[in-house]
Amino acid sequence: QPDFAFFHNDIVKLVIEVKTIWSLTAPDSLAAAYRILGTKVRLPVQQIFGCMRINNLKYGILTNCESFYFMKREKMLLHISTAIKSTDVDISVYRALFYVVHLSIEDHLCSPNTSINDDKTYNSDHDEIEDDESEDDESE
């Protein structure tokens, strides 16, 4: 279960996972840290990704209230924005939140990977995670 879910017309559109500063370090590139730092970064990412996947959702947010990571799921790929800090002035967290909520209202579904989910030998560690600079550019 996610910490928060955004509903529109009684349909969940977006999930949000909130971690403490101690349980989620805030690297600028969460995707790069995911590959390098191991479980301290992997577990929160896997948790929000799992919520998105179970609910067939395209969008999710992971935060420790100082840094916000906006995620978009497309088939086997998880796009993760660079960190948007609560103190940033060039792009505000509120503006980014508004943008992702708008996107989730317009198109929130991401079809499940049924062929992979049915494969008992499948290892989710091979799913691709990448930085997505274009997500930040679109919201400006």
Q: How far is CA 22 from CA 2, 8, 40, 97, 106, in A?
A: 19, 32, 10, 23, 34
Q: Which amino acid appears at position 47 of this protein?
A: Q
Segment 47-60, tens digit of pLDDT: 999 999 999 999 99
Q: Tell me if 71 sits within 8 A of 78, measured CB to CB.
A: yes
The pTM (predicted TM-score) of the whole model is 0.78
Q: What is the pLDDT of residues 15-74, one digit of tens each?
A: 999 999 998 888 899 988 988 877 778 999 999 999 999 999 999 999 999 999 999 998
Where are the domains positioned within the chain? 4-138
The CA distance from 139 to 100, in Å, is 8
Give the β-pairing of 128-131 and 77-80.
Answer: parallel
d(CA 94, CA 86): 9
What average pLDDT does the structure give for the chain? 83
Assigned CATH for 4-138: 3.90.1570
Residue 45 to residue 33: CA distance in whole angstroms: 11
Find the Cα–Cα–Cα–Cα dihedral 60, 55, 11, 17, rounded to 10°: -30
Q: What is the pLDDT of residue 35?
A: 84
pLDDT grade, residue 117 (50/70/90)? very low
